Structure 1
Amino acid sequence: MSFIERLRNAGITPNDSEELRLQKALLVLASGLVSVAAIGWLLIYWALGPKLSTTLPFVLQVLVAANLLIYAASGNFAVFRFSQLAIFLFFPFIAQWALGNFVTASGVILWGLLAPVGALLCAGPRESVPWFAAYVFLTLLTGTFDFLLADYLVAAPSPVPLKASMAFFTLNFATISTIVWLLMRFAIVERQKARGELEDAHRQLHVEQERSERLLLNILPHPVAQRLKDDDCTIADGFAEVTVMFADIVNFTELASDMTPQQVFGMLNRVFSQFDEMAERLGLEKIKTIGDAYMVAGGLNTDLRDPCEAVAQLALDMRDWLAGAGARGANPLRVRIGIGTGPVVAGVVGKKKFIYDLWGDTVNLASRITGEGAPGSIQCDAATYDRLRNRFVFDPPHIVPIKGKGTVVVHRLSARRDLVEIAPDLPQRVVSPA
């Protein structure tokens, strides 16, 4: 900052903390008030009759102004603070000693109280203690000498008439009280402004924190997100039984070839957003989307009574909704769905752009039987079938070859058993709940 900018801005720099800004502004304000008061002090004395020497007020003005200029040039607030407080402390006592005693000087040493008050506001409670102790010591020292020299001082001619002395007692008390009040008021108002700005910043930070947490919860399950916030550690958990489902849009490549990128995005966003709502309603955990494939799991948290049933219901809902919604569009949409149940390993991979993912034979099996299914089919492995056969309707089992696994028995899920029993003559797509 230039010299003029420092002088105009009380030496405040952009890097200063709010507290340091306030301290600098307070001390510069006090310096200005003292300079104005010193001129007024001398003019009022002259108006009341005593023609006092202008030396002391002039010296005070020069010291205060020179100190401000040095501070503006150097930017050293610590030196400026010490020297300015020293001027505030010692100069009133020098002025009283020059005028005589408490009565003739009208208690001008009261101005020295600005030193400990200024130290309290501009340095802190601990730093103000020596300044207050020095003020009390000089006051007691001055009072002691006035007491010992009282007879001599009373006999000596007074340079200040008694009426002027009494008037200045009132002025000194009123002026110093006003200055102290102005400094305290300025400090409190500025601190209230700073507190208001801080509270506003906290509110904005809270809003941003909630937004960040919502984004994090859209990526990770709540328990995993909480663990990442509490401890930056590797997250990898084993689960004995999780039901994993893959849904793959049939002939997506061919469909997308006749669409613009915006149309492709709009179609996938509409479909997957609907799938998200369905999964959330059933309490299931969406894992990820891979191109046109959608992956969901149940059993990663303890909130669900029967995760396998919830995944099966989601598969039926997805198939039926997509068949109905897709039939209304220019390009009818159908899905292949595969469901597997068994042990998995779940965890967060990487440090940047991380995802929560699942690994294991259960995941591989669910993915591969999805690709072996016919359009509109929901294929389940034997473990899933064993858990659902009393509540859901399955087609007769069939065997499919799976790379790396050989032949696998697969059961095709058709509908909920209770709905079929209630309305056996209606198409299953109609009686299955949306």
Structure 2
Amino acid sequence: MGLFNRFADAAIENRYVIGEREARRTATRTLIIIAIGVFVAFTIFNPMFFPSAVLIIYNSLSAVMILTLVIAYYVVGTRYYLEWAWLDFLIFVLMSIAVVILMASLAQTEDTTGTSFLGMAVINLGIAFVYASIAFVANVRWFLAWAVSVMLIYVSYVALVDIPVFPKIYMIANVSIFLTFALFVNWDIDRRARDVFVANQALDAERQKTEQLLYNVLPQTVAKRLRAGEAVADSFADVSVIFVDIVGFSRLAKILSPGHLVEQLNNFFSVADECADRYGIEKVKTIGDAYLAVSGGTASGDQGARAAINFGRELIGAMQARAEESGVDIKLRIGIHTGPVVGGVVGSNRLAYDYWGDTMNIASRIEGAADANGIAVSSATFFECGGGFDFDGPENLMLKGVGDTEIYRLKMQDG
């Protein structure tokens, strides 16, 4: 970041400045209120020390100063304060002019206060530098420009005053100490704030990575519910469950090397994920060489049987195209059944949103009855899709664990 604590990327710098000024807005307004309180206090107690002629001038200038601070208080609450950092410089230039006039008006009170104009300048400049070092937020350059300008004017003035050299050096040295301290305070506050900003940016990046990983495992709505401490258990009345399996996987495992086999599986699952995204299908999990998905579940909204069939048809077509490219003829069987399921997240390790119910078992059995590169659906799915697909006539099959079941086979050549 260098001497001026500046990020190389302009967008990051702008985000930091706006964020820091927003975060310290309340503190800055409090600082302004304190300054207003100081002027009000002096206005109340000064009649005890100053003649009435001086008080009229002093109180008039104090009123102008208080009005300036009230305006500053309002400006700090606007978006312009966040976006225009040079407003700090402008406000303090106006305040500096007012302070100089105020000190000049009190110069004639040296006999009463025992403090000369130059002595007041040392005190007031010291206070102004320290005050400004806190008020210039995320604004080291403009603070340096203001402070150095004020210091140069002061040094030029002192150099022209007809007093001995030693008092000149002494007064300049005193003000220089205040300036050095104020510059360090402003720079160090900004440096630390930037370190916190960088750390928060890194934390946000890691948080986003963690959330993305979580969203890859769980539907986003489910992940948010879990993070809120909610137990996730849902009931769905009408979900189309899709089972996809590779035909003759054991044979492929024998003829392909382990690395090549894993590559082919990865291609299959990647293609299935792409097709699922295209049709709004929710991937549930992979089981060995099988791919389980649902249409109409927690992450697939109002998608239904039609989307499930379109997904299956496109997946088979895409794998046939891949087979021509790779030379490995991978055929798929797809079974779809529509019915009620229960979904939820169980356990505390390896979180996953899963589905249970007879519908899952029936879809799995129907998949086993499908032809190679074919799609078989239950009567419930057939009637739910409402036409638009060409099926063979119904078949009654005895499915293990299910019993007598009516299925329909999709005519793939018409897809």
TM-score band, normalised by shorter chain: 0.5 to 0.7
**Aligned pair 1:285/2:247, yes or no?**
no
Partners of 1:183 and 1:269 in 2: CA distance: 63
Structure 1 residue 333: Cα displacement: 0.6
**Aligned pair 1:413/2:410, yes or no?**
yes
Partner SS, residue 203 of structure 1: helix
**Aligned pair 1:403/2:400, yes or no?**
yes
| Equivalence for 1:178 | 176
Structure 1 residue 303: Cα displacement: 6.6
Partners of 1:314 and 1:262 in 2: CA distance: 28
| Equivalence for 2:369 | 372
Structure 1 residue 167: Cα displacement: 4.3
Partner SS, residue 248 of structure 1: strand
1:184-333 equivalence runs, <5 A: 184-229=182-227, 231-301=228-298, 305-333=302-330
The Cα offsets for residues 249-289 of structure 1, whole Å up to 9 and x where unpaired, read as 01112202222332122111111111111110111111111
Partner SS, residue 387 of structure 2: coil
Partners of 1:176 and 1:371 in 2: CA distance: 92
Partner SS, residue 350 of structure 2: coil
Structure 1 residue 194: Cα displacement: 2.0
Structure 1 residue 386: Cα displacement: 1.0
The Cα offsets for residues 172-192 of structure 1, whole Å up to 9 and x where unpaired, read as 322222112111111211222
C-alpha contact (below 8 Å) 1:284/1:297 kept by paired residues:
yes
Partners of 2:357 and 2:287 in 1: CA distance: 17
Partners of 1:283 and 1:393 in 2: CA distance: 22
1:139-154 equivalence runs, <5 A: none
- Letter in structure 1 aligned against 2:307: A
Partner SS, residue 228 of structure 1: helix
Structure 1 residue 210: Cα displacement: 2.6
Structure 1 residue 319: Cα displacement: 1.5
C-alpha contact (below 8 Å) 2:282/2:300 kept by paired residues:
no
- Letter in structure 2 aligned against 1:201: A
| Equivalence for 2:355 | 358
C-alpha contact (below 8 Å) 2:365/2:399 kept by paired residues:
yes
Structure 1 residue 405: Cα displacement: 2.1
Q: What is the TM-score when the length of structure 1 is the normalising length? A: 0.56
Partners of 1:405 and 1:303 in 2: CA distance: 27
Partner SS, residue 393 of structure 1: coil
Partners of 2:164 and 2:358 in 1: CA distance: 100
Partners of 2:199 and 2:364 in 1: CA distance: 48
Q: Which runs of 5+ in 2 are unaligned?
A: 1-113, 134-162
Partners of 1:171 and 1:258 in 2: CA distance: 94
- Tell me the C-alpha RMSD between the 2 structures: 3.4
The Cα offsets for residues 380-415 of structure 1, whole Å up to 9 and x where unpaired, read as 112101112522111122222223322211111225
Structure 1 residue 355: Cα displacement: 0.7
Partner SS, residue 233 of structure 1: coil
Structure 1 residue 169: Cα displacement: 3.5
Q: Which runs of 5+ in 1 are unaligned?
A: 1-101, 122-164, 416-426
- Decide which moves more: 239-248 or 263-272: 263-272
C-alpha contact (below 8 Å) 1:327/1:333 kept by paired residues:
no
- Letter in structure 2 aligned against 1:212: T
Structure 1 residue 342: Cα displacement: 0.8
> Highest Rg: 1 or 2?
1
Partner SS, residue 241 of structure 2: strand
Q: How many pairs are equivalent?
A: 275
Q: Could you tell me the percent identity over the aligned residues?
A: 33
Q: Of 381, 384, 388, which aligns to 2:385?
A: 388
Partners of 1:304 and 1:414 in 2: CA distance: 27
Q: What is the TM-score when the length of structure 2 is the normalising length? A: 0.59
Change (3 A) 1:195 1:235: same
Change (3 A) 1:303 1:279: closer
